[in-house]
Amino acid sequence: MNILEKIAKAQAEKTPTLNLSDMRLRILPPELFELDFLEKLSLDENLLVEIPDEIGKLKNLKSLSVSENNLMVLPDSVTELTRLEKLYLGYNALSELPKNIGLLKNLKSVNIARNQLMELPESIGEWTLLEKLSLHDNMLCTLPKSIGKMKSLRKLYLDNNHLVSLPETIGDIDALSYFIVSGNRLTALPKSIGYLQQLRELVVDENQLDEFPEFILECPNLELFSATENPITGTIPKRKGLRIEV
Quote the percentage of the chain above a pLDDT of 90: 98
Mean of all residue pLDDT scores within the chain? 97
* In a domain? residue 139: no
Q: Which domain holds residue 44?
A: 1-67
86-134 pLDDT per residue, tens: 999 999 999 999 999 999 999 999 999 999 999 999 999 999 999 999 9
Cβ–Cβ contacts within 10 Å for residue 42, how many? 18
- Residue 206, pLDDT above cutoff 90: yes
- Cα gap 108→84, rounded to integer Å: 8
Q: What is the mean pLDDT of residues 60-65?
A: 98
* In a domain? residue 128: no
**Residue 189 Cα distances to 5, 48, 88, 116, angstroms:** 54, 38, 29, 24
pLDDT classification of 30: cutoffs 50, 70, 90: very high
In this structure, which long-range contacts are made by residues 230-235, counting pairs with CB atoms below 8 Å and at least 24 apart in sequence? Answer: 230/204, 230/205, 230/206
- Note the pLDDT of residue 137: 98
* In a domain? residue 43: yes
Whether the CB-CB separation of 219 and 199 falls below 8 Å is answered with yes
* In a domain? residue 40: yes
- Note the pLDDT of residue 1: 84
**Residue 245 Cα distances to 198, 222, 230, angstroms:** 20, 13, 11
* In a domain? residue 245: no
Number of domains in the chain: 1
181-203 pLDDT per residue, tens: 999 999 999 999 999 999 999 99
* In a domain? residue 27: yes
- Note the pLDDT of residue 207: 98
Cβ–Cβ contacts within 10 Å for residue 239, how many? 12
- Note the pLDDT of residue 82: 98
* In a domain? residue 8: yes
- Residue 10, pLDDT above cutoff 90: yes
* In a domain? residue 244: no
Cβ–Cβ contacts within 10 Å for residue 207, how many? 23
Whether the CB-CB separation of 170 and 190 falls below 8 Å is answered with yes
Segment (H or E) for 87: strand 86-88
Residue type, 205: D
